[in-house]
Chain A
């Protein structure tokens, strides 16, 4: 850790990671980052009601169904994690 980090939020990187799941680090893989992006996206869709309504119209589903689907997709949004290559 750099000396400069002592003063800002990065000083407690672990704590940060625990508090904000979506934060990343230098060893983050493409898959992990993508999962975070997907989950953030679904959370955002669900959180903004007009977005949800828009998707509902586009897919011809009820808003509740859309919300349910999005929530379900947050579980394994990108499928199973790829095999670790390094080990």
Chain B
């Protein structure tokens, strides 16, 4: 891919950010207009600040769009483990999100000891680790031990799920 086409593509997705800001601003304004000015104490009701914030969002959307059209680009965040040389790896991201969603769906059905292990195992797989047996052992030890840590140490009862009565 030539650099100029990459830059055009990035410019288009940057305009998407402006669009998102515009949508958020519109949401704030529409939601605020629906509010009733009843039982207010003082001259400023519940509407004012949401309207101001909505206006600010719309304003930043416009300013950002102008900035992008004039060639401004957001500076991607660097870091110790970050290699900005290649674009976002959507396969890894997709697998990570899948592991995350699996946990959210399973935590109340199967309990944290199972769903947490699925989460950890799934994320290590997504990030490229292929030591299946070692990862499985670490996953189970981590999820069971955090369950006990929260239960005994912090008095927070995470769902035990199918292991209820065993743990």
The yes or no verdict on A and B being binding partners is no
Residues of B near any A CB (own CB < 8 A): none
